[in-house]
């Protein structure tokens, strides 16, 4: 587990984009997981700049979506698909065949999880899996209590996730379940990457990285992942002991 701390969110975002660009230069056919939400927005802006400037080549890689609210797709404002299309895919000439995301409107969501699991395993596993962190320590929609050994699965959303999730929608929206890559995917990725910014995340970052590991705090799995890379701005790192 390597922790890197940057002065600002912008610096952290650029470092995350650099990490992706460097990996792509070594392995162009990578499988990369992008999250949605506030945390990756700056990183995606830099990656768009890099792609347009010829500093990052996405022509051979495959992007996999981290999660989705059950019952939503890219036409739903506030959905994870809508976010990634709006903030990334729509800005580049991206081959739709190289975008693999959950169909959260599928009739059989268990089969949908199996489809994503099979795609990942049949393509040699994930190269980079980037996640943010929820206020309750969730990664993706792996809520507190989620076993560390699960692959893609359905998730019953915690009350705080439902509450915080409202900020992504124009009006109050019923959220009950999510479909998400699992913590086992995260632990098996060649690079497991956490990005976080702001003092509001400082408490859960410190608890996840420096308190006893427990499924009650899903992000505490990072303590077991040797190849984990944790990118924080100074606000998010402000409660870490002996941070440097």
pLDDT tens per residue, range 83-137: 999 999 999 988 999 999 999 999 999 999 999 999 999 999 999 999 999 999 9
Q: Which is the catalytic residue, given 138, 153, 185, 233?
A: 138
Q: Would 240 be classed as within a structural domain?
A: no
Q: Would 21 be classed as within a structural domain?
A: yes
Q: Would 241 be classed as within a structural domain?
A: no
Q: Would 28 be classed as within a structural domain?
A: yes
Helical H segments across the chain, by residue range: 9-26, 41-52, 80-87, 109-122, 159-165, 183-188, 202-210
Q: Would 195 be classed as within a structural domain?
A: yes
Return the pLDDT at 219. 98
Helical H segments across 123-196, by residue range: 159-165, 183-188
Nearest Cα neighbor of 231 from 135, 161, 137, 130 is: 130
Q: Would 14 be classed as within a structural domain?
A: yes
Residues 6+ positions from 4 with CB-CB distance below 8 Å? 15, 229, 230, 231, 232
Q: Which is the catalytic residue, given 68, 127, 143, 234?
A: 143
State the CB neighbour count (10 A cutoff) for residue 203. Answer: 14
Q: Would 31 be classed as within a structural domain?
A: yes
Token readout for 129 is: 């899996």
Global confidence as pTM? 0.94
Nearest Cα neighbor of 190 from 109, 130, 140, 104 is: 130
Return the pLDDT at 65. 96
Task: State yes or no: is 136 an active-site residue.
Answer: yes
Domain around 211: 2-233
As for how many domains the chain has, the answer is: 1
Task: State yes or no: is 143 an active-site residue.
Answer: yes
Q: Which is the catalytic residue, given 9, 67, 112, 233?
A: 67
Return the pLDDT at 211. 94
Backbone angles phi, psi at 17, to 5 degrees: -65, -40
Return the pLDDT at 243. 45
Segment 133-151 mean pLDDT: 97
Give the CATH number, domain containing residue 210.
3.40.50.1360
Residues 6+ positions from 17 with CB-CB distance below 8 Å? 43, 44, 46, 47, 50, 56
Q: Would 164 be classed as within a structural domain?
A: yes
Q: Which is the catalytic residue, given 136, 188, 199, 207?
A: 136
Return the pLDDT at 173. 86
Segment 203-232 mean pLDDT: 97
The whole-chain average pLDDT of the chain stands at 95
Of residues 171 and 198, which shows the higher confidence score? 198
DSSP 231: E
């Amino acid at each position: 587990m390597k922790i890197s701390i940057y002065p600002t969110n912008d610096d952290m975002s650029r470092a995350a984009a650099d990490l992706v660009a460097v990996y792509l230069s070594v392995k162009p056919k990578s499988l990369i997981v992008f999250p949605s939400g506030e945390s990756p927005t700056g990183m995606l802006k830099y990656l768009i700049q890099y792609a347009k400037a010829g500093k990052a080549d996405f022509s051979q890689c495959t992007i996999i979506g981290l999660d989705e609210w059950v019952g939503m797709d890219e036409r739903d404002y506030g959905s994870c698909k809508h976010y990634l299309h709006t903030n990334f895919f729509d800005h580049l000439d991206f081959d739709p065949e190289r975008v693999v995301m959950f169909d959260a409107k599928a009739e059989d969501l268990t089969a949908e999880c199996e489809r994503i699991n099979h795609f990942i395993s049949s393509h040699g596993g994930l190269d980079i899996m980037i996640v943010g962190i929820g206020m309750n320590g969730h990664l993706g929609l792996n809520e507190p209590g989620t076993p560390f050994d699960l692959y893609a699965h359905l998730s019953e959303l915690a009350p705080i996730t439902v509450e915080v999730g409202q900020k992504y929608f124009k009006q109050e929206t019923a959220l009950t379940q999510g479909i998400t890559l699992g913590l086992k995917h995260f632990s098996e990725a060649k690079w497991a990457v956490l990005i976080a910014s702001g003092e509001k995340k400082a408490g859960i970052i410190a608890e996840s990285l420096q308190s006893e590991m427990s499924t009650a705090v899903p992000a505490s799995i990072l303590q077991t992942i040797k190849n984990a890379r944790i990118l924080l701005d100074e606000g998010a790192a402000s409660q870490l002991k002996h941070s440097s």
